[in-house]
Chains A and B, each alone.
Chain A
Amino acid sequence: MKIENFSYTYGTRTIFDQVDLYFEDCQLNFILGENGVGKSTLLDCIADVDGKRGNNFIGFPKPNEIAYLSQGNNFNFELTVQDILQFMKQLHGIISFKVPVVIKKILHVKFGNLSGGERRILLVFINTIIDKDLYIFDEPESGVDLKHAQEIFDWFRELTEQGKTVIITTHKLDNIYDTDNVIYLKNPREVLSDSYLKVKSRMAF
């Protein structure tokens, strides 16, 4: 999957200026960059949130074949975790799943009473159990402790083993393997797309 000659402006601010980006199929693709560099904007464009994705987005699936968890995503506060899982089971294309221990512990808690980290784990989990071609996560480990962040990344790697493509933005580099594809957004005109090992050698993290 690739984006060619991509430009994007937000008000008077230029976020991307004629850049090319490459994503590897069936792999974890990490988008890195400083705050405000356009990571979330890029994900919104890939997921076609506005329905205006251009022809320069090549090889990306349609929005209904994408699972997308953005930073502000939420669920109704009155529903319990059990209600949410029950709803998920009724959706088309749910992969048979085993409820992880971390979620079993909170089954009867209302979404509104969960901690920020627990909400994030639940939202990530429900987005990984639905059968889509492309999975997009915007800072999935935000607010999640180290142990469970590791578990979340294990779920992502299981998806790639099933032939799925995963795109993730993150500020934490601990869970990136040298062979993972990294898209480093340096500035509006400069983007590096390569394996983490190669990107690391060209950039000082």
Chain B
Amino acid sequence: MLENDMAMFKLQLKIALKEKMVFFYTLIIPIIMVFINKGPSFRDNEVLYLYWAYIVVTTILNGFLMNVIQLRENGFLKTLSYLAGSRFSVVMSSFLVQLLIIQVEILLFNLVVTIFITPVSPWTFLYSFLVSFLAVFLCAAMLSGLLILKVKQNTFTVIINLFLLIGIFLLGIRPQRTWNYFLTVFNPFQLIYGLYNVPYTTVAFGIFEGTCTFVYLVMGFFIFDKISIKSQLSRV
């Protein structure tokens, strides 16, 4: 059924590219922010990780999870699942499209930083490309719990926006010790930032980050395995 998966991927990509407003939140805002925050203390890697984490989390939230919820509540997920013969094909194609978009967004972001702010090393480009694969899976798995919520789409949008605001605010305060561990468990921005930052952290924090990653990936697997194609709020 590779044909169906490919067809679904192309369709989801076409739909994603029509939603241009999303790119304002996920790409343009971090680019604007990096220009606002640039200064003599702007260092290559660690600062970049904050922006990469922002791009991953906002794209997964707006592009993937919101998309799956909209598909399900509008009856589109049911339509596509029976046409393609599998609900996983629909969900996976949506995820892979967002993975591709995130890779392109991070590449563009790094290029903008290289051209206008400070050179980004080729190793950092490669590092962002490789680690982002795991970061995207981890972020989708961590946030998959939102798919279980039985709330209206508008309420869900409000929750996501609050979530983003609080997450960004907390990311800015650079937590230490216990507070850092706590936020890594509950704040997706911090978790993804921590993942990118593993080479520069302590062994203990690296093990903690690895454990969180494993637990969230297992949780995400079970949630996506049981995902319903039926609307949670109405009989679609």
- A residues contacting B by CB (< 8 A) are 40, 44, 47, 49-50, 63-76, 78-79, 83, 87-88, 90-92, 123, 126-127, 130
List B contacts of A75 (CB < 8 A): 76, 79
Given contacts A72-B78, A73-B78, A87-B11, is CB(A50)–CB(B230) below 8 Å? yes
Do the beta carbons of A74 and B15 come within 8 Å of each other? no
List B contacts of A123 (CB < 8 A): 79
Given contacts A50-B230, A66-B82, A127-B83, is CB(A76)–CB(B15) below 8 Å? yes
- How many residue pairs link A and B with beta carbons under 8 A? The number is 75
A76 and B84 alpha carbons, distance in the complex (Å) = 15
A58 and B10 alpha carbons, distance in the complex (Å) = 37
List B contacts of A70 (CB < 8 A): 75, 78, 236
Kindly identify which residue among B3, B83, B234 contacts A72, using a CB–CB cutoff of 8 Å: B234
Do the beta carbons of A76 and B86 come within 8 Å of each other? no
Interface residue count on the B side (C-beta < 8 Å): 28
Do the beta carbons of A130 and B83 come within 8 Å of each other? yes
Do the beta carbons of A74 and B75 come within 8 Å of each other? yes
A49 and B82 alpha carbons, distance in the complex (Å) = 9
Do the beta carbons of A47 and B82 come within 8 Å of each other? yes
A38 and B230 alpha carbons, distance in the complex (Å) = 16
Do the beta carbons of A91 and B229 come within 8 Å of each other? no
List A contacts of B15 (CB < 8 A): 76, 78-79
What's the minimum C-beta distance from A80 to chain B, rounded to whole angstroms?
10
Q: What would be 28 A-B contacts, judged by CB atoms less than 8 Å apart?
A: A49-B230, A63-B85, A67-B82, A67-B83, A71-B236, A72-B75, A72-B78, A72-B234, A72-B235, A74-B75, A74-B76, A74-B79, A78-B15, A78-B19, A83-B11, A87-B11, A88-B83, A90-B3, A90-B7, A91-B3, A91-B4, A91-B7, A92-B1, A92-B3, A92-B4, A92-B85, A126-B83, A127-B83
What's the minimum C-beta distance from B85 to chain A, rounded to whole angstroms?
4
Do the beta carbons of B10 and A87 come within 8 Å of each other? yes
- B residues contacting A by CB (< 8 A) are 1, 3-4, 6-7, 10-11, 14-15, 18-19, 74-76, 78-79, 82-86, 228-231, 234-236
What's the minimum C-beta distance from B128 to chain A, rounded to whole angstroms?
31
**Closest chain A residue to B6, Cβ basis:** A90
Kindly identify which residue among B76, B229, B236 contacts A76, using a CB–CB cutoff of 8 Å: B76
A70 and B15 alpha carbons, distance in the complex (Å) = 22
A65 and B18 alpha carbons, distance in the complex (Å) = 31
What's the minimum C-beta distance from B138 to chain A, rounded to whole angstroms?
27
List B contacts of A73 (CB < 8 A): 75-76, 78-79, 236
